[in-house]
Chains A and B, each alone.
Chain A
Amino acid sequence: MRGGRKLEKLLIQCITENQDSAYRLAYSYVRNKEDALDIVQDAIHKAFLSMEKLKQTGSLKSWFFRIIVTTSLDLIRKQKKVRVMDDENLEFILPGSHDHYPNLDLAQSLEDLPDKYRVVIILRFFEDMKMDEIAEVLHENVSTVKTRLYQGLQRLRVNLSEEDQEEAQR
Chain B
Amino acid sequence: MHDKLNRMKEQYESTPIPDELSSVVNKAIAARRTKNRALPWLAGVAAACALLFAGVNASPAFAKAMSDVPVLGEIVKVMTIREYAEQDGSTEVHIETPGIANLGNPELEQTLNNKYLEENKKLYEDFKDEVAQINHKGGGHLSLDSGYEVVTDNEQLLTLSRYVVESAGGSAESRQYDTIDKINHLVITLPSLFKDDSYIQVISDNIKEQMRRQMQDNPEITYWVEQPGVQSDIPEDLFQSIAKDHNFYIDKHGKLVISFNEYDVAPGYMGVVEFTIPTEAIADQLVSNEYIR
Query: A residues near B, CB below 8 A?
Result: 1-2, 4, 6, 8-10, 12-13, 15-17, 19-20, 23-24, 27-28, 33, 37, 40-41, 44-45, 48-49, 109-110, 121-122, 125-126, 156-161, 164
Contacts and interface: CB of A to CB of B under 8 A. Distances in A.
B13 A12 contact: no
A2 B168 CA distance: 16
A126 B10 CA distance: 9
Contact of A1 (B11, B18, B20, B40): B40
B9 A13 contact: no
A33 B140 CA distance: 27
B68 interface: no
Contacts of A158: 2, 4-5
Contact of B29 (A4, A44, A122): A44
B11 to A, nearest CB: 7
A39 B170 CA distance: 19
B25 to A, nearest CB: 5
Contact of B25 (A8, A15, A109, A159): A15
B130 interface: yes
Interface of B: 1-2, 4-5, 8-9, 11-13, 15-18, 20-22, 24-25, 27-29, 31-36, 40, 130, 133-134, 137, 140-142, 168-170
B2 A16 contact: no
B20 A37 contact: yes
22 contacts: A8-B32, A10-B134, A13-B134, A13-B168, A16-B141, A19-B22, A20-B21, A23-B17, A23-B21, A24-B12, A27-B15, A37-B18, A40-B21, A40-B28, A41-B27, A41-B28, A122-B12, A125-B5, A125-B8, A156-B8, A159-B2, A160-B2
A156 B12 contact: no
A6 B133 contact: yes
Given A17-B140, A40-B21, A156-B4, A12 B170 contact: yes
B29 A1 contact: no
A33 B28 contact: no
Q: By CB atoms of chain A within 10 A, which of B5, B11, B40 has the most?
A: B5
A28 B4 contact: no
B133 A12 contact: no
B12 A28 contact: yes
Contact of A13 (B2, B25, B27, B140): B140
Nearest to B18: A33
Contact of A126 (B9, B130, B141): B9
A125 B24 CA distance: 27
Contacts of B8: 109-110, 121, 125-126, 156
Contacts of B20: 37
A41 B24 contact: yes
Contact of A15 (B13, B29, B130, B141): B29
A157 B170 CA distance: 44
B1 A16 contact: no
Contact of A19 (B25, B36, B40): B25
Nearest to A42: B28
Given A8-B32, A10-B134, 14 more contacts: A1-B35, A1-B40, A13-B140, A16-B140, A24-B15, A40-B25, A41-B28, A44-B29, A45-B28, A110-B8, A122-B12, A157-B4, A164-B1, A164-B2
Nearest to A60: B137
A44 B130 contact: no
B17 A13 contact: no
Contacts of A16: 25, 29, 140-141, 169
A158 B35 CA distance: 50
Nearest to A168: B1
